[in-house]
Chain A
Amino acid sequence: MSLDSKTVARIATLARIRVPETDLPGLAQELSGIMTWIEQLNEVDTRGVQPMSGVLARDMPRRADVVNDGGDPQKVLANAPEPAHGFFTVPKVIE
């Protein structure tokens, strides 16, 4: 599988990572190398095999639907880059 610069630019946008135009060809080549190596998985006959998302063969446990944590905005905001008035802040999103 070979990835071109356009595909890499698209997935970089999806992943919200800015990649300079000049880095795209090199990155495309690197990722293509990895994907080509990965393609050997196509040899494996997996007809009738259920995809496995985790090793624990049981249902997720449930807990009572009650508030059991929270009420500590100072702690939540303690590491925020630019908190203001008890909120996280981001660049303006509505003109």
Chain B
Amino acid sequence: MSDLTHLTIAAALDGLAAKKFSARELGEAHLGAMAKHKKLNAYITETPETALQQADASDKRRAAGKAGALDGIPLGIKDLFCTEGVLTTAGSHILDGFKPTYESTVTRNLFNAGAVMLGKLNLDEFAMGSSNKTSYYGSVVNPWKRTGDNTDLVPGGSSGGSAAAVAARIAMGATGTDTGGSIRQPAALTGTVGIKPTYGRCSRWGIVAFASSLDQAGPIARSVEDCAIMLGAMAGHDPKDSTSVEMAVPDFRRALTGDIRGLRIGIPREYRVNGMSAEIDALWAQGAEWLKVQGAELKEISLPHTKYALPTYYIIAPAEASSNLARYDGVRFGLRVPGNSLDEMYELTRAAGFGKEVKRRILIGTYVLSAGYYDAYYLQAQRVRALILKDFTEAFKDVDVILTPSTPSAAFGFHENEDDPVQMYLNDVFTVTVNLAGLPGISVPAGLDAKGLPLGLQLIGRAFDEETLLRTAGVLERCADFTALPAGV
């Protein structure tokens, strides 16, 4: 029954409702596929017993006529979400052995909707990275390969395990988190769909914090409709997160009307960056043409502060991270390296527990927040952030949705972009603006490059207007008709 793993969530829900198969069969098919794809290293922890228990409970609920919105659907959970009684690592050595005694709000919401958990998915350490190479638990391998070339490629990051698992059909959908592009960039590199909703749409409670003013949870799945279904279950107000917004969650699936006639699509000229491949430029033009043919109106727009978004991010995110990660000190949870004094214990624990990239960012964050540098760096970055938001506010007076590439390149090899941290940071050049402005963004697979690797296009919407964003994404998806599969899947 391996074809069960190729269904979309929407089709699986129909099949479950029509009693064509049970949640248990669906779960077992996925556990079987996971066993065959261990080399991808997508999962840090597999939870087959939990999955089958949840699947059996789901079958009972369905028989009793009480099935929820995601009842019986097997999902992977990014290992940044705290799951009660199940090892939660954030991809870091410093959380060794950490089994939360509570459940994150987003996973709680998914389980309340009937979702089945297959396991915890690999990620860049503390979600800091664009390649999944910074995980203490080893790199994730992208299921996609270049045509005629067996070189392993990165799946992107930080939600690389989530994206690779969904692409390899070893999860029907997965949770991700996105601080600078960590849902959309790996989705683009693996031919999957990933949406970062508006800041405040999903509760951050129980998600290991990276940069609290930017972090937001969202789904990665294999269709826009599946993302709409998952997001509907994940989102909602939570009193435990004061930044989660008290606003009704729309029926996102119903927003997918397929009709974008009269919609105004903005094409930002500043996103045509140096060094971008001609293929991506051509795909972007093709995407615009598709939307135009469907009745949308194209408008060139300007987002003048775009080039400052990445340097702004690399002050704000490390600053917030240096504060958030102060809690890992060997006292209350995770790794402890003994020392002769309290300070020595802190220093040795953090030296052994954090990886290279995490240390780099903590040090940058500590530096820009330290006396004498705070005004010059941190306050200046916060002011530029305000200008970036203003760029979008102005643009959305004239357009309804913005179309851009998702990434400046397709998936790359493990030893590329390695020597210079800044080169790696540039992967997020098209996605990071959206986090700084708190807007929703979605990456939709739009085609293959000359080497047979998937490329994505990004749509950006107004704050809390995921409905228009998803509607446009649904049309883009239909036009692109992306049906390619990674080798061996």
User: Is A17 in contact with B354, judged by CB distance below 8 angstroms?
Assistant: yes
Q: Is B314 an interface residue (CB 8 A)?
A: yes
User: Is B363 in contact with A78, judged by CB distance below 8 angstroms?
Assistant: no
Docked CA distance A51–B374 (Å): 12
Question: What residues of B have a CB within 8 angstroms of the CB of A75 in the complex?
Answer: 101-102
Question: What residues of B have a CB within 8 angstroms of the CB of A50 in the complex?
Answer: 383, 386
Please, could you name 29 A-B residue pairs with CB atoms under 8 Å apart, sorted by A? A11-B363, A13-B347, A15-B363, A16-B326, A17-B359, A18-B350, A37-B311, A37-B314, A41-B308, A41-B311, A41-B377, A42-B380, A51-B382, A51-B385, A55-B463, A56-B199, A56-B245, A75-B102, A79-B98, A79-B100, A81-B333, A88-B331, A90-B331, A90-B342, A91-B338, A91-B341, A91-B342, A91-B344, A93-B342
Interface size on B, residues (CB 8 A): 70
User: Is B387 in contact with A44, judged by CB distance below 8 angstroms?
Assistant: yes
**Shortest beta-carbon distance, B284 to chain A, in Å?**
25
User: Is A41 in contact with B347, judged by CB distance below 8 angstroms?
Assistant: no
Question: What residues of A have a CB within 8 angstroms of the CB of B100 in the complex?
Answer: 79
Query: Once A and B bind, how many residue pairs between them come within 8 Å at the CB atom?
Result: 160
User: Is A61 in contact with B242, judged by CB distance below 8 angstroms?
Assistant: yes
User: Is B332 in contact with A18, judged by CB distance below 8 angstroms?
Assistant: no
Q: Is B305 an interface residue (CB 8 A)?
A: yes
* Interface residue ranges of B345-366 to A (CB < 8 Å): 345-348, 350-351, 354, 359-360, 362-364, 366
Question: What residues of B have a CB within 8 angstroms of the CB of A54 in the complex?
Answer: 199, 213, 243, 438
User: Is B350 in contact with A46, judged by CB distance below 8 angstroms?
Assistant: no
User: Is B421 in contact with A41, judged by CB distance below 8 angstroms?
Assistant: no
Q: Knowing that A17-B363, A38-B377, A46-B383 are A-B contacts, what are 9 other residue pairs whose CB atoms are under 8 Å apart, sorted by A's residue number?
A: A16-B350, A17-B351, A18-B351, A33-B421, A49-B383, A51-B379, A51-B382, A91-B341, A91-B342
* Interface residue ranges of A18-73 to B (CB < 8 Å): 18-19, 27, 30-31, 33-35, 37-42, 44, 46, 49-56, 60-61, 63, 72
Q: Is B381 an interface residue (CB 8 A)?
A: yes
User: Is B348 in contact with A18, judged by CB distance below 8 angstroms?
Assistant: yes
Question: What residues of B have a CB within 8 angstroms of the CB of A44 in the complex?
Answer: 305, 308, 380, 383-384, 387
Known contacts: A50-B386, A55-B438, A93-B342. The answer to whether A11 contacts B380 by CB under 8 A is no
- The 6 A-B residue pairs with the shortest CB-CB distance in the complex, in nearest-first order: A55-B438, A51-B382, A79-B333, A46-B383, A81-B336, A18-B347
Known contacts: A44-B387, A81-B330. The answer to whether A31 contacts B101 by CB under 8 A is no
Q: Is A84 an interface residue (CB 8 A)?
A: no
Q: Is B3 an interface residue (CB 8 A)?
A: no
- What residues of chain B have their CB less than 8 Å away from a CB belonging to chain A? 97-102, 199-200, 213, 239, 242-243, 245-246, 305, 307-308, 311-312, 314-315, 322, 326, 329-336, 338-348, 350-351, 354, 359-360, 362-364, 366-367, 370, 377, 379-387, 389, 420-422, 437-438, 463
**Shortest beta-carbon distance, A70 to chain B, in Å?**
12
Least CB separation from B329: chain A residue = A16
- What residues of chain A have their CB less than 8 Å away from a CB belonging to chain B? 3, 7-8, 11-19, 27, 30-31, 33-35, 37-42, 44, 46, 49-56, 60-61, 63, 72, 75-76, 78-82, 88, 90-91, 93
Known contacts: A18-B350, A90-B331. The answer to whether A11 contacts B420 by CB under 8 A is no
Specify which of A31, A60, A72 is in contact with B363 (CB 8 Å cutoff). A31
User: Is A14 in contact with B101, judged by CB distance below 8 angstroms?
Assistant: no
User: Is B363 in contact with A56, judged by CB distance below 8 angstroms?
Assistant: no
User: Is B381 in contact with A41, judged by CB distance below 8 angstroms?
Assistant: yes
User: Is A55 in contact with B437, judged by CB distance below 8 angstroms?
Assistant: yes
**Shortest beta-carbon distance, B115 to chain A, in Å?**
24
Docked CA distance A19–B356 (Å): 11
